[in-house]
Structure 1
Amino acid sequence: MPLLLARLLRCRTAGVSVLLALSASPHAGDSSPAAFAENEVKAAFVYNFAHFVRWPDGHTLRPGDAFRYCVFDETLAPLLAKAVAGETLDGHPLIVQRQPDMRNLQECHLIYFGEQSVIGPVFQAELLRRLAGSAILTVSDQPGFAARGGMITLTRKRGRIHPVINTDAIERADLRVSAKLLNLATLTHDGKGGTQ
């Protein structure tokens, strides 16, 4: 496992603030160590979001069920897969599904649409409309994600990766985000309102 990702994962018990403090300087668009480190930070955020979000009672996992990260991004998927290997969430194994089947998205607990996703903004907006109200946490690093109805966008802020949370989308899905994460994130609305 890359060193930065390992450090970030070891620190997860100290809270989200550690992720923010250790986040890398962005150098998008190249294959330098700094760009790789940025993807590691994104993977660490995605991994940790599951620990700071609670799903509604009707969507709790049965014994033996896995918590599924569904990833539309070939750069982030292998980093996240390494991060979740052997890890659990409340006793449930964590698994990463790369490029999941569109017909089975309801089996996902968290869906990540990355910059390297083959799903363009128009189709992504349609998917988010179909998933609206579903208890599936949607995360991306793409600009305009919250406006399309996405829940958490990973942005660059003062040289660091920073979460922006669309509280309208979170409320529609009946998800509960930890106050620790809410306090460290930028909160926004998508203009589509809260619970429908």
Structure 2
Amino acid sequence: MLSQRGKSVVQIAILLLLTLSATVQARSENDVKAVYLYNFIKFITWPEEPTNSSINICIYGDNPFGIQSQKLNTLKVRNRPLQIIYPNKIDLPNCTVVFIAPSEEVFTGELLARINNSPILTISDIENFTEKGGMIGFIKLGNVVKFDINLKKARETNIQISSKLLELANHVIQ
């Protein structure tokens, strides 16, 4: 049996390997983002997280993940299946995660206001997303996809982000 510290080291190593292998093998930036999205969910804890329902990933706007979103639909995290949902702009179904595509940038403020302090993980690759109140924002540094985290917003919604994920972030808003 591994100690808690040993398990943490293994988890970080796995996340790094998945990230690095995704970067090497990915055909596009959006493939890398899909791998990140999947791994983000592994390192997030929601308040009163149910164990018998799916983790619903709501994608607003143009789906940047392409065929990768079909692959996400076949995966599980913590024995819960992932389900991709494509709601219209006025719907906020039972989303666990909300991804806002750049095609919906003008809608971002309104959607974040509707989510308000609900425990919904918000992710986007819209520029300065975390500064606008989103929780995780993809950024591109040269040819490398990285991410910023708005820890302050996550704490307001009682979402816990693993310290392992925070260590990998480019920038963390406290």
Instruction: Please indicate, yes or no, whether the TM-score normalized by the shorter chain is above 0.5.
Output: yes
Matches of 1:79 and 1:149 in 2, distance apart? Answer: 29
Matches of 2:168 and 2:41 in 1, distance apart? Answer: 16
Contact persistence 1:47–1:80 (CA under 8 A): no
Alignment counterpart, residue 40 of structure 1, candidates 21, 31, 37? 31
Instruction: Give deviations 1:118-155, integer Å, cap 9, x for gaps.
Output: x233x211211221211000000110211210000111
Aligned sequence identity (%): 28
Partner in structure 1 of residue 94 of structure 2: 107
Contact persistence 2:97–2:122 (CA under 8 A): yes
Equivalent AA in structure 1 for residue 147 of structure 2: P
CA 1:105–1:69: 2 relative to 1, 3 Å: same
Matches of 1:126 and 1:104 in 2, distance apart? Answer: 12
Matches of 1:41 and 1:73 in 2, distance apart? Answer: 19
Instruction: Give deviations 1:51-106, integer Å, cap 9, x for gaps.
Output: 0100012xx2252x2110111243424334232233212222111012x1445425
Unaligned runs of 5+ in 1: 1-11, 26-33
CA 1:187–1:106: 2 relative to 1, 3 Å: farther
Contact persistence 2:121–2:135 (CA under 8 A): yes
Matches of 1:175 and 1:80 in 2, distance apart? Answer: 25
Of residues 83-92 and 125-134 in structure 1, the stretch that sits farther from structure 2 once superposed is 83-92
Partner in structure 1 of residue 73 of structure 2: 85
Unaligned runs of 5+ in 2: 1-10
State TM-score, norm by structure 1: 0.72
TM-aligned CA deviation for residue 14 of structure 1: 4.4
- CA RMSD, Structure 1 to Structure 2 (Å): 2.5
State TM-score, norm by structure 2: 0.81
Matches of 2:79 and 2:19 in 1, distance apart? Answer: 26
Matches of 1:153 and 1:164 in 2, distance apart? Answer: 5
Partner in structure 2 of residue 178 of structure 1: 162
Counterpart mapping for 1:153-192 below 5 A: 153-189=137-173
Matches of 2:111 and 2:19 in 1, distance apart? Answer: 29
Which contiguous aligned blocks of 4+ residues in structure 1 show a shift greater than 6 angstroms? none
Partner in structure 1 of residue 4 of structure 2: none
Equivalent AA in structure 2 for residue 112 of structure 1: F
* Aligned residue-pair number: 163
Partner in structure 2 of residue 147 of structure 1: 131
Equivalent AA in structure 1 for residue 94 of structure 2: E
Give yes or no for the alignment of 1:56 onto 2:47: yes
Give yes or no for the alignment of 1:15 onto 2:14: yes
Equivalent AA in structure 1 for residue 145 of structure 2: I
Contact persistence 2:19–2:36 (CA under 8 A): no
Equivalent AA in structure 2 for residue 148 of structure 1: K
